[in-house]
Amino acid sequence: MPAPAGAPLFRQEALEAYLRDRNGREILRVSPLWSWTVTVTLACLLAAALAFAFLGKVDVIEKGPGILRPQGGVRLLSAQAEGVISQVLARTGDPVKAGDPILRLEAPQLKGAIQEADLTLAAHVREQAEVADNQASLFAQQRAMAQVRVEHLERETASFLRTRDRAADQLSAQRELHRQGLISRMEMLDHENRFDAAQRDVASGESELSRARQELAMLETQRRQQVWQQKTGVALAQARRVSLEHRLGQTLIASPVDGIVDGLVLRAGDLVSPGAVTAKVIPLGTPLRVIAFLREKDRAFVRETDPVTLELAQYPHAEFGTLKGQVVRVGTDLAGPAEIQEAFGVPEGPVASPSFRVEIQLDPGQGNQWNLRSGMLLEARFTLRRQRLAALVLDPLRRWLR
């Protein structure tokens, strides 16, 4: 029977049986063009990724905690003396001028010591005046008498010298006469005795004159020593008075600069010890600077003038962006607890590992719309170096294989 018009000459089953291999293999099918396109595209992307991994470099970024602080630092107000707070003259947030008092301490012991020092000083001044009035005339009389005695002994000694000289001349003449046999030996011995007596008078007169001069000098020395002692007593009393007044002045805690009072939580009646921080003053008109801390292992890759990206904690950087800065100083030694407490106000703050202090200067013309202020926390992003992507990806595997 002939096949209907338009129908295939052979049935589909017959064709498949004819094309099927006698070994049972399926019919060879040809892949469509889109599958080849996808395969080639994936291969190209993989090759490009491998090439970029081994040839391209990426920035190695390290973050460190930081805080905004005035360039000159926050001024800490410490108590210089122990005492009880009697007056609180300012509050947190109050603007103050340099020299404005903030706290006053009550120091009754110092006030009592100052009153005692005033009495001692007044007593020394009175004693000095009395000595100057009473002893001056007595010293003048004693000095005049000693001077008269010295002058008398000088005249007497001069007379003894003249007598000795005459006795010496007479003795010389008598010896010549005795040599010629004109006088007896007894007469010559008599003149020798006169000369010896004159010599003894001269020695005695010179000795008395020397003692009189020493007494006059000693009298003047005693007078100078007495005056010096009086002046020294007055000077010591004045020095003690000034020292106590200075210590009393330390009971008044004042602001060293123009600024805003911060961190003042003390009240009247609280006891403070020497060295205790009572409040802080944030200077006005001082540019802000970032104090950040970089981990010790990354210190070798950060240098001065390196750019830094700053992410403020109060302003999400994905929405508000970031600030730019520049490293101006890197610490030469590990930051201690005092440096960390000075920056963050707490002994450790967000610094958990040994770190170096890094000071960062903000680029000009930034942050005006953000109302930057001291104490804002942030993260500083340091670009340490550029590293190949393959090394960066394979580094965890290398450490794991070790």
**Quick check: 237 and 117 in contact, CB under 8 A?**
yes
d(CA 320, CA 316): 6
**Quick check: 87 and 103 in contact, CB under 8 A?**
yes
**Quick check: 68 and 228 in contact, CB under 8 A?**
no
d(CA 184, CA 190): 10
Query: Of the CATH numbers 3.40.47.10, 2.40.30.170, 3.90.440.10, 2.60.120.10, which one belongs to the domain with range 58-73+286-402?
Result: 2.40.30.170
Domain 74-106+251-285: state its class. mainly beta
d(CA 363, CA 295): 24
pLDDT at 217 over 90: no
pLDDT at 237 over 90: no
The residue among 4 and 280 whose pLDDT is bigger is: 280
Percent of the chain with pLDDT over 90: 9
| pLDDT, position 188 | 76
Residue with tokens 């550029």: 386
| pLDDT, position 58 | 62
d(CA 87, CA 105): 7
d(CA 150, CA 216): 8
pLDDT tens for 82-129 read 778 888 888 888 888 988 888 888 776 777 777 777 778 787 777 777
pLDDT tens for 309-331 read 999 998 888 888 889 999 999 98
3-class SS of residue 23: coil
* Tokens matching residue 58: 């990426």
**Quick check: 280 and 256 in contact, CB under 8 A?**
no
Domain 108-247: state its class. mainly alpha
Mean pLDDT, residues 330-343 taken together: 86
3-class SS of residue 329: strand
- Can you list the positions of beta strands (E) in 176-266? 252-254, 259-262
Residue with tokens 């001044």: 125
Domain locations in the chain? 12-57, 58-73+286-402, 74-106+251-285, 108-247
